[in-house]
């Protein structure tokens, strides 16, 4: 931030802005309960205050509540100038839904004074404060900007931590356009970029003209700093937007998510099991692009049920990516476990138990390589499989981070096509062959699951749209099929509670944004 301040001063800017809770990162969660953590944030504010002698600095940070009543902290935006704290605005609207849990930590602000600086009046707000226009949001009873308008501000600054999902950019612009239309003021909207475990921030900061046009939309998934002239923003009547399709945004988000997960934890190298199927192929490409092919290693672990073309497809992908690969057949390990359990299993037929043993053999080998060489295991399960429990705990569900766990199988196919748009990176056979776990002779996913086109549609209605079984059946889907799928989702909750954090790219991802009880039943 200090480097950005120096750049802004060199650009002869009057104000430089950073995002919501920029001193701590978002979400800091229970770090906020540590006094030492808050002191560290306050020390950063002091350093930035010292750096504000030649420029004003807007920065988000937690602020200690000076009175005994209410929560201990406010989610604040500081306005620093002339080496002093000139103004502090406390966030009024505290989201407590999906991934958000701000009311756990923060007291809502109630002071709506504006900032006076260099002859201008500024309406300073924090993220959610602009999302209740005309009090239309049923979660809130006040509209902060309405409270500020009697002071007749000249422009609006909003510092945000707005997480990515593939719909968010359009939703965000829609909200800003509504604000600008209501208040007829230019708006400067500053958003984070980067990933915090499973939550990804896409940047996409926005400069809005009073005409309601997007004067500038920053690049997605890229840290940027730009200077703007207020008069030019006020007079502009042209639109300047980023144009990216859903699958491209998902791809870029996943690359950033993997890159930041490793970078922020100090990890460098990853490992995964490469089966020749589409899920592990897409995960491998994402990882290679995030970490560099020299930092990715894959294991090909064929069993007696694996087809030759699967091994060849996996080998071809590894060579296409220029990544290290090892082939370790698991048949002998599997037979050893069969021999060990021979007395207990006696003459019982081959079933899912033996399939899971194979998956766990592979998980054991991957974790052994991870422990020995320090490569962090990437989970390759997709959202469709995670939803219905089509995966093995301590086997193919193992990993430090779930890369495509918020990507439905049908979207994985689209990602593969996007990856191959300029040249064949993923072998075409991995895309076109029927999906299979290859854990028994001639196995196909369709033996256990409906076609993914149907499955994913029903899952989307249940998970993203939160529709109950009666509502989904009323849409025309077979009742037995709907109830079977929803039952699989519900009884698999215990598995999802034991799997890796999932990189969030949809409006409703597994993990902290979808909090379901394990043992409770919901029937309709």
So which residues are the catalytic ones?
Answer: 20, 91, 127
Tell me the C-alpha distance between 372 and 140, whole Å: 52
Residues 6+ away with beta carbon under 8 Å from 452: 384, 408, 409, 410, 435, 445
Nearest to 17 by CA among 169, 155, 180: 155
Tell me the C-alpha distance between 194 and 253, whole Å: 9
**R_g (Cα) of the chain, nearest Å:** 26
Tell me the C-alpha distance between 370 and 389, whole Å: 25
Residues 414 and 247: beta-carbon distance below 8 Å: yes
Beta bridge partners of 61: 76
- What is the enclosing helix (H) or strand (E) of 332? helix 331-340
**Phi, psi for 264 (deg, rounded to 5):** -75, -25
The alpha carbon of residue 122 and the mean position of all alpha carbons in its chain are separated, in whole angstroms, by 32
Tell me the C-alpha distance between 99 and 511, whole Å: 9
**Phi, psi for 200 (deg, rounded to 5):** -115, 135
Where are the alpha helices (H) located in 11-69, listed in sequence order?
A: 35-50
Tell me the C-alpha distance between 30 and 33, whole Å: 5
Residues 6+ away with beta carbon under 8 Å from 194: 200, 201, 223, 256, 260
CA distances from 454 to 128, 278, 464, 470 (A): 36, 19, 15, 17
């Amino acid at each position: 931030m200090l480097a950005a301040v120096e750049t802004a001063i060199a650009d002869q800017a009057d104000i430089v802005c950073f995002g919501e809770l920029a001193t701590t990162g978002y979400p800091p969660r229970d770090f906020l309960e540590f006094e030492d953590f808050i002191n560290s944030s306050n020390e950063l504010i002091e350093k930035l205050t010292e750096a504000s002698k030649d420029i004003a600095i807007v920065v988000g940070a937690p602020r200690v509540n000076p009175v005994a009543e209410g929560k201990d902290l406010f989610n604040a935006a500081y306005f620093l100038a002339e080496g002093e704290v000139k103004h502090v605005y406390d966030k009024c609207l505290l989201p407590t839904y999906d991934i958000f849990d701000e009311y756990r930590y923060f007291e809502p602000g109630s002071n709506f004074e504006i900032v006076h600086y260099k002859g201008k009046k500024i309406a300073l707000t924090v993220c959610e404060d602009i999302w209740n226009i005309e009090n239309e949001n049923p979660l809130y009873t006040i509209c902060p900007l309405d409270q500020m308008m009697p002071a007749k501000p000249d422009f609006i600054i909003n510092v945000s931590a707005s997480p990515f999902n593939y719909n968010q950019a359009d939703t965000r612009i829609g909200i800003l356009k509504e604000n600008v239309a209501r208040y007829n003021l230019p708006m400067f909207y500053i958003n984070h970029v980067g990933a915090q475990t499973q939550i990804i921030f896409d940047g996409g900061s926005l400069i809005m003209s009073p005409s309601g046009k997007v004067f500038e939309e920053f690049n997605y998934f890229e840290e940027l700093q730009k200077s703007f002239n207020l008069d030019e923003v006020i007079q502009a009547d042209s639109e300047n937007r980023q144009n990216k399709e859903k699958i491209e945004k998902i791809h870029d988000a996943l690359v950033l998510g993997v890159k930041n997960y490793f970078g922020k934890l100090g990890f460098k190298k990853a490992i995964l099991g490469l089966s020749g199927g589409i899920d592990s192929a897409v995960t491998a490409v994402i990882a290679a692009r995030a970490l560099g092919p020299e930092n990715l290693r894959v294991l090909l672990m064929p069993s007696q049920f694996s087809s030759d073309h699967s091994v060849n497809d996996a080998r071809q992908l590894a060579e296409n990516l220029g990544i290290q690969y090892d082939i370790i057949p698991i048949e002998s390990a599997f037979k050893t476990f069969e021999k060990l359990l021979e007395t207990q299993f006696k003459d019982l037929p081959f079933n899912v138990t033996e399939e899971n043993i194979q998956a766990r053999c592979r998980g054991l080998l991957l974790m052994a390589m991870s422990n020995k060489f320090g490569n962090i295991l990437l989970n390759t399960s997709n959202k469709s499989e995670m939803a219905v429990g089509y995966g093995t705990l301590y086997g193919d569900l193992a990993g430090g981070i779930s890369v495509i766990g918020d990507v439905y199988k049908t979207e994985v196919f689209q990602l593969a096509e996007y990856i191959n748009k300029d040249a064949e990176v993923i072998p075409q056979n991995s895309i076109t062959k029927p999906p299979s776990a290859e854990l028994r002779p001639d196995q196909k996913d369709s033996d256990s699951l409906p076609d993914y086109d149907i499955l994913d549609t029903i899952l989307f209605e249940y998970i993203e749209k939160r529709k109950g079984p009666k509502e989904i059946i009323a849409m025309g889907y077979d009742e037995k099929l709907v109830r079977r799928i929803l039952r699989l989702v519900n009884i698999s909750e215990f598995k999802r509670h034991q799997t890796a954090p999932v990189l969030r790219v949809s409006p409703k991802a597994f993990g902290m944004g979808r909090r379901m009880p394990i043992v409770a039943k919901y029937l309709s």
